[in-house]
A and B are shown apart, each in its own frame.
Chain A
């Protein structure tokens, strides 16, 4: 613990801290461009210069200098001021003065820091350097003349994404950042370089010239494109959410989000259901709310009603539907749309117990039937960190590009009963062994076998729980906590032949099996569910309602409402409340607050932000895994939900990045 003095303030800093970190601990702001907390230290922008004694009588780059005992650091001396002004002047020699037409304007590190630390004028009258545009794909717009060569994007692609897509060619002033042969950056988190870029060299292509940051209303929300529950910020102007950015949450998403979470946003304004629809003589015709409710009341379902929840609904919606069904005397609730029927009697056995930040510390990880990069993109950087620290990674299932050294054990699940010697050795000698069971494994009934495996290798210890199930739906854990699980899965609902099937934005259900039921679709997009529906009740997307979400770790998080739903669409809970009146029952709440308190009364864990406690794992039974995993559930990363399918950006990503269509000539 070295003791240093920063501008007269004496403090102790953790061993291994840099001078920059010491200054931050002392509450001093150090300007920087290339330094980033989550990337390796490059030390090439020189903006973080400070004066350090003892040491050479010249400014030192604080980001790359270890803090040492007895250092006297000055961040406000004339030498530091002059050094910063000098660096800033050099950076601006080649940086264009195009802030008025630059999308970074208003949230640009270079802009802010030149105001704060620059000298305000330039002594250069030579020509500025100009660099040709580089094509980086459908998501990242480039203006490479603005690049200041901080190499954050290069380090992100190498260290976090692990794909080495971006590099710095040539040298000195002629250095250029580019993807290899200007191919599109195709990693599923590639767009995070837009946030990392401290200038306007890499900006968002879909959001180009849409808005200025100060015009936008910022709302804190939770991503629903997968089960990670990334913390996001919705930036809205008027009635439209224009962009989605990550928020920092070290426990969940650090500061990354997947490209789907970021760019499905334009799907929110397309293919929306903005008025009720009724099926008459086989065709859907527009209707009023009264007509729609009357049509549902006419069915007189009694207790012959079932509800199936979609992948993106919030807990409040699910609870409201549960209350409605309960009032009618039914408990036919299910959320696992595709027919999964794994045992949900113990939620500890179906959640990600290690937690995302915990899995970083695992030293042997066995993945059973999960394509992590597509099913939970945010977990992959965590696993990469674990592997960098020396963890061994094993995968049961078809091979996929893991970006780290991996041993594939084949797709046959029976391997779980007789693991190869090096795998069982690695798991039994590990201090923090973990398994991750994914959707493809659950579908093949591997849950019991993996629970047995966890007992065999003692995955659960005093200070470590290495048993993990990785879900893909944002609503899954919340749904399971609210009882959206039948023993036989959706098959139980089909067998019950309900008169009325309430579909809460469920678009992946095989509705052909409900041919005799009247299907009421409460959702926001005209997707598969709406096509099969007899009555469509237009509802709110996740940006248009407050809600509670539980991620695959069992982490309860709250999202706020950014905008209003379009047209006649309403928030889901109000629709279900009105439906209760139409069906002549009482659900016991008249406001969102009353609904939320009723929900918290029923399931107290949903009222506390943070990890829910699911107790201990069940005792391992005798269960053998068999069968072969033919493929993973996600066939197209960019088109997994109705919002993404309605998004032009996601459609283009799918066509260009996954199906090899070429749009390169369309680039400016």
Chain B
């Protein structure tokens, strides 16, 4: 394990230890009927003999299947990675290399909702510390599954929603323009089994258009305008 004093994200990643229990639980992992069909479609995208190029989509598929089986966001136990390696006829270590490289692959069990708070500069300037504090106030702990099995909290790097910062990503959806209260509403809705609206939480805002009308390039709102003469 790495230690840096500060909380480092990549450095905290680790593989779930391979125990007899883990093997017993996941050793017989196999595709569901739908996923088997989907895996075939994915592998067919690559030339014959290059089937191992499909490792990333298949890992994602496997993580989702594990998620469906455990009613969580899903993760990748070693026996499942071994299954992928067999499916693609490639060495297991190469599969583990890929899975450990990308943060989107969970190497340890996570909760039903994986709350990933962006802490990169734009979000930080717009108050991501409050968002993080709000999560922690609800009992979430970074890298841990909450007692009720619902939540796993993580801090991540930029998700590309800087125009509607701060934001969190929960499973497949982004929730933007957050305040502690707005996040609270989203989390309450999720806990209650509802599907809160994804995207910006700012009332009246549609996506990432400027609030209160355009402030630049105003003459382009109605029609195309050549600004070059103004320079």
Please report A residues at the B interface, Cβ cutoff 8 Å. Answer: 127, 129-132, 164-174, 179-181
> Which B residues are in CB contact (< 8 Å) with A172?
10
A-B residue pairs, 5 tightest by C-beta: A164-B91, A167-B93, A174-B10, A169-B100, A180-B93
Instruction: Contact check, A181 vs B100: say whether CB atoms are below 8 A apart.
Output: no
Subset of 18 A-B contacts with CB under 8 Å:
A127-B5, A164-B91, A167-B93, A167-B94, A167-B96, A168-B97, A169-B15, A169-B101, A170-B101, A171-B10, A171-B101, A173-B2, A173-B11, A174-B2, A174-B11, A174-B13, A180-B91, A181-B18
Residues 1-34 (chain B) with a chain A CB within 8 angstroms: 1-5, 8, 10-11, 13, 15, 18
Instruction: Contact check, B4 vs A129: say whether CB atoms are below 8 A apart.
Output: yes
Instruction: Out of A131, A171, A179, name the residue touching B100 (CB < 8 Å).
Output: A171
> Which B residues are in CB contact (< 8 Å) with A167?
91, 93-94, 96-97
Instruction: Contact check, B100 vs A170: say whether CB atoms are below 8 A apart.
Output: yes
Instruction: Contact check, A129 vs B2: say whether CB atoms are below 8 A apart.
Output: yes
Known contacts A174-B11, A180-B92; 19 additional CB pairs below 8 A are A127-B4, A129-B4, A164-B94, A167-B91, A167-B93, A167-B96, A169-B97, A169-B101, A170-B10, A170-B100, A171-B100, A172-B10, A173-B2, A173-B11, A174-B2, A174-B13, A180-B91, A180-B93, A181-B78
Residues 114-132 (chain B) with a chain A CB within 8 angstroms: none
Complex Cα gap A168–B1 (Å):
15
Find the B residue at minimum CB distance from A157: B93
Complex Cα gap A180–B96 (Å):
8
Instruction: Contact check, A165 vs B2: say whether CB atoms are below 8 A apart.
Output: no
Residues 180-199 (chain B) with a chain A CB within 8 angstroms: none
| Given A173-B11, A180-B92, A131-B2 contact (CB < 8 Å) | yes
Instruction: Contact check, A130 vs B2: say whether CB atoms are below 8 A apart.
Output: yes
Instruction: Contact check, A132 vs B100: say whether CB atoms are below 8 A apart.
Output: no
Nearest-neighbour CB distance to chain B for A150, whole angstroms, equals 16
> Which B residues are in CB contact (< 8 Å) with A170?
10, 13, 100-101
Nearest-neighbour CB distance to chain B for A287, whole angstroms, equals 57
Complex Cα gap A665–B190 (Å):
46
> Which A residues are in CB contact (< 8 Å) with B101?
169-171
Complex Cα gap A31–B43 (Å):
42
Find the B residue at minimum CB distance from A178: B93
Complex Cα gap A488–B2 (Å):
66
Nearest-neighbour CB distance to chain B for A650, whole angstroms, equals 26
> Which B residues are in CB contact (< 8 Å) with A179?
93
> Which B residues are in CB contact (< 8 Å) with A127?
3-5
Complex Cα gap A167–B98 (Å):
10
Find the B residue at minimum CB distance from A170: B100
Residue among B3, B93, B94 facing the most chain A CB atoms (10 A cut-off): B93
Complex Cα gap A164–B15 (Å):
19
Residue among A129, A164, A172, A180 facing the most chain B CB atoms (10 A cut-off): A180
> Which B residues are in CB contact (< 8 Å) with A130?
2-3
Instruction: Contact check, B10 vs A173: say whether CB atoms are below 8 A apart.
Output: yes
> Which A residues are in CB contact (< 8 Å) with B94?
164, 167
Find the A residue at minimum CB distance from B81: A180
| Given A164-B93, A174-B13, A181-B18, A132-B1 contact (CB < 8 Å) | yes
> Which B residues are in CB contact (< 8 Å) with A168?
97
> Which B residues are in CB contact (< 8 Å) with A171?
10, 100-101
Complex Cα gap A650–B137 (Å):
58
> Which A residues are in CB contact (< 8 Å) with B4?
127, 129
Complex Cα gap A165–B97 (Å):
12
Complex Cα gap A167–B101 (Å):
12
> Which A residues are in CB contact (< 8 Å) with B8?
174
Find the B residue at minimum CB distance from A164: B91
Nearest-neighbour CB distance to chain B for A171, whole angstroms, equals 5
Residues 90-148 (chain B) with a chain A CB within 8 angstroms: 91-94, 96-97, 100-101
Complex Cα gap A251–B134 (Å):
68
> Which A residues are in CB contact (< 8 Å) with B13?
170, 174
Nearest-neighbour CB distance to chain A for B99, whole angstroms, equals 9
> Which A residues are in CB contact (< 8 Å) with B96?
167, 169, 180
Complex Cα gap A127–B3 (Å):
9
Nearest-neighbour CB distance to chain A for B134, whole angstroms, equals 28
Complex Cα gap A172–B101 (Å):
9
Residues 34-63 (chain B) with a chain A CB within 8 angstroms: none
Complex Cα gap A180–B93 (Å):
6
> Which A residues are in CB contact (< 8 Å) with B10?
170-174
Complex Cα gap A164–B11 (Å):
24
Complex Cα gap A374–B163 (Å):
62
> Which B residues are in CB contact (< 8 Å) with A174?
2, 8, 10-11, 13
Find the A residue at minimum CB distance from B3: A130
Nearest-neighbour CB distance to chain B for A364, whole angstroms, equals 20
> Which A residues are in CB contact (< 8 Å) with B2?
129-131, 173-174
> Which B residues are in CB contact (< 8 Å) with A180?
91-93, 96
Find the A residue at minimum CB distance from B103: A171
Complex Cα gap A168–B98 (Å):
9
Find the B residue at minimum CB distance from A166: B93
Nearest-neighbour CB distance to chain A for B89, whole angstroms, equals 11
> Which A residues are in CB contact (< 8 Å) with B93?
164-167, 179-180
Residue among A165, A168, A179 facing the most chain B CB atoms (10 A cut-off): A168
Nearest-neighbour CB distance to chain B for A598, whole angstroms, equals 55
Complex Cα gap A167–B78 (Å):
15
> Which A residues are in CB contact (< 8 Å) with B78?
181
> Which B residues are in CB contact (< 8 Å) with A166?
93
Complex Cα gap A168–B13 (Å):
14
Find the A residue at minimum CB distance from B90: A164
Complex Cα gap A129–B3 (Å):
7
Nearest-neighbour CB distance to chain A for B73, whole angstroms, equals 20
Complex Cα gap A131–B78 (Å):
21
Complex Cα gap A437–B94 (Å):
35
Nearest-neighbour CB distance to chain A for B36, whole angstroms, equals 26
Complex Cα gap A170–B93 (Å):
12
Complex Cα gap A421–B91 (Å):
32
Nearest-neighbour CB distance to chain A for B105, whole angstroms, equals 11
> Which B residues are in CB contact (< 8 Å) with A181?
18, 78
Find the B residue at minimum CB distance from A165: B93
Find the A residue at minimum CB distance from B13: A170
Nearest-neighbour CB distance to chain B for A183, whole angstroms, equals 10
> Which B residues are in CB contact (< 8 Å) with A131?
2
Complex Cα gap A168–B10 (Å):
14
Find the B residue at minimum CB distance from A129: B2
Find the B residue at minimum CB distance from A172: B10
Complex Cα gap A159–B18 (Å):
28
Residue among B3, B94, B96 facing the most chain A CB atoms (10 A cut-off): B96
Complex Cα gap A165–B91 (Å):
8
Nearest-neighbour CB distance to chain A for B47, whole angstroms, equals 17
Residue among A129, A168, A174 facing the most chain B CB atoms (10 A cut-off): A174
Complex Cα gap A165–B96 (Å):
12
> Which A residues are in CB contact (< 8 Å) with B3?
127, 130
Nearest-neighbour CB distance to chain B for A42, whole angstroms, equals 14
Find the A residue at minimum CB distance from B17: A181
> Which B residues are in CB contact (< 8 Å) with A129?
2, 4
> Which A residues are in CB contact (< 8 Å) with B5?
127
> Which B residues are in CB contact (< 8 Å) with A173?
2, 10-11
Complex Cα gap A171–B100 (Å):
8
Nearest-neighbour CB distance to chain B for A275, whole angstroms, equals 51
Nearest-neighbour CB distance to chain A for B16, whole angstroms, equals 11
Nearest-neighbour CB distance to chain A for B113, whole angstroms, equals 25
Find the B residue at minimum CB distance from A181: B18
Complex Cα gap A179–B91 (Å):
12
Nearest-neighbour CB distance to chain A for B29, whole angstroms, equals 17
Complex Cα gap A325–B79 (Å):
65
Residue among B18, B78, B101 facing the most chain A CB atoms (10 A cut-off): B101
> Which A residues are in CB contact (< 8 Å) with B91?
164, 167, 180
Complex Cα gap A179–B93 (Å):
8
